Amino acid sequence: MTGRRRACLASVACAAVLGAGILSGCGGDGGGPVSLKWFIAIQPGGSIQKVAETCSKESGGKYDIDLELLPTDASQQREQLVRRLGAEDSSIDLIGMDVVWTAEFANAGWIRKWTGADAKEVSRGVFKPVLETASFDGDLYGAPFNSNTQLLWYRKDLVPKPPETWDEMVQMAEKLGPAHGGQIQLQANKYEGFTVWANAMIESAGTQILSGPETVDLAQGPTEKALASMGLMANSSAAAPNLTTSDEDTARLGFEAGAAFMVNYTFAYGSAKENAPDVAKNMGAARYPGIVPGRESKPPLGGFNLGISSYSKHPELAYEAAKCLTAPKQQLTVTELDGLAPARSGLYGTKVVKKAFPGFADLVKESIETAGPRPVTPAYQDVSLAIQDALHPPTKIDPDDPGPAYDELKDKVQQGVDREGLL
């Protein structure tokens, strides 16, 4: 039910009650259910509406979950939430947080901790990397709602065996040639997707951007290997013409148009099946490519965690609702309707997950289990922008001499860490 419709129904109910001379029971102030506002990004399959409806019914009349659907763009989602939370808006009860927002929101005092039996309940069976994204300074601040990761998608009719590293993939694509599918589709526009790529490359090389909320790591040897592979990819014939403005959707379209390789999220399979069936029937899935031969890659990690607003007037009910929304049954509903990966590892053997990810459910599970989360820091927005400023466009990275790119990256990330988080 939309907020507008709920408000109208509530007004009708209130009018009826007042007309009878009874001044209680309207809007949760008396015997009626409390309205809990859940701010979260809209999903095209209707899963958010479905789980909200289910948990409202299962509350036994204690609460109704009133949806406030945010835009699909993550930056716009965050901007709306930050403005409201910064103003201590008490209308927010539940928050659907992108996995990189936890530290910022927790450090600002905008969300409440999860403790005791509640924390154990929402953490049970959750992948360790996912729990890292929901935590800050040793405490849990988010209930994992869903996860996400990227796979290497490739054309089995063009590539007999998928590559294990980015450099190997570039060589394979160059050998095929642009006229015969020799392209690698990825996300390299100057936006968060570029940070996702850079972080996965650096993590896969054996180091990390930050070793703590305010501590830059970026060990030189591994980081330069990662940057060299980014530069090699960007300056090769395997790069798509729109490389520096590419995102998840352009990558999907490029793969469906005939590219042999693509790194992208799991939605890409369903899209190809619907829009390019000839491509889908030859579509293979493999682990995200690594940097160093023999070293396991660290795939990207996405998803949402549910936070409880510090300004909610009904925190106890909000915790109860969040526990219901993140329960296994609801996670499977989200997978079934919107194809989003569950955050709990034990769900990957179910029929729902195997149907959503036919033939690659175990690969998704393995990728999330061994993923490399983006930096957990209150200054994440500054750090992400610093990475983009330092490395974009990737064509400027010299694969034979990545030292200058490394120096600029480390300097700008340090500047990002030293600034306060953006509002």
What is the tally of structural domains in the chain?
2
Sequence-distant (6+) residues with CB within 8 A of 187 are: 193, 194, 196, 197, 246, 247, 248, 251, 263, 264
Indicate if 157 and 294 belong to the same structural domain. yes
**Helix, strand, coil in percent for the chain, rounding step 5:** 50, 15, 35
Q: Nearest Cα to 134, choosing from 299, 300, 303, 320?
A: 303
- Give CA separation, 137 vs 57, 70, 83, 107, 421, in Å: 35, 28, 24, 9, 16
Sequence-distant (6+) residues with CB within 8 A of 332 are: 342, 347, 350, 352, 353
Indicate if 233 and 355 belong to the same structural domain. no
Query: pLDDT digit string (tens) for 9-59?
Result: 333 333 333 333 323 334 445 569 999 999 999 999 999 999 999 999 999
- Domain carrying residue 250: 148-300+376-418
First to last CA, the chain: 31
> What tokens does 53 get?
């409806």
Checking 273-282 for CB contacts under 8 A at 24+ apart, the result is 279/155, 279/255, 282/155, 282/156, 282/157, 282/158
Q: Nearest Cα to 192, choosing from 232, 141, 127, 248?
A: 248
Indicate if 249 and 397 belong to the same structural domain. yes
Query: pLDDT digit string (tens) for 229-283?
Result: 999 999 999 999 999 999 999 999 999 999 999 999 999 999 999 999 999 999 9
Indicate if 53 and 184 belong to the same structural domain. no
Give the pLDDT confidence score for residue 30 in this predicted structure: 57
Indicate if 163 and 17 belong to the same structural domain. no
126: domain CATH number is 3.40.190.10
17 within domain boundaries: yes
Query: pLDDT digit string (tens) for 87-107?
Result: 999 999 999 999 999 999 999
Indicate if 274 and 315 belong to the same structural domain. no
Give me Rg for the CA atoms of the chain.
Answer: 23
DSSP classification of residue 421 = P
DSSP classification of residue 113 = P
Q: Are 343 and 144 in contact (CB under 8 A)?
A: yes
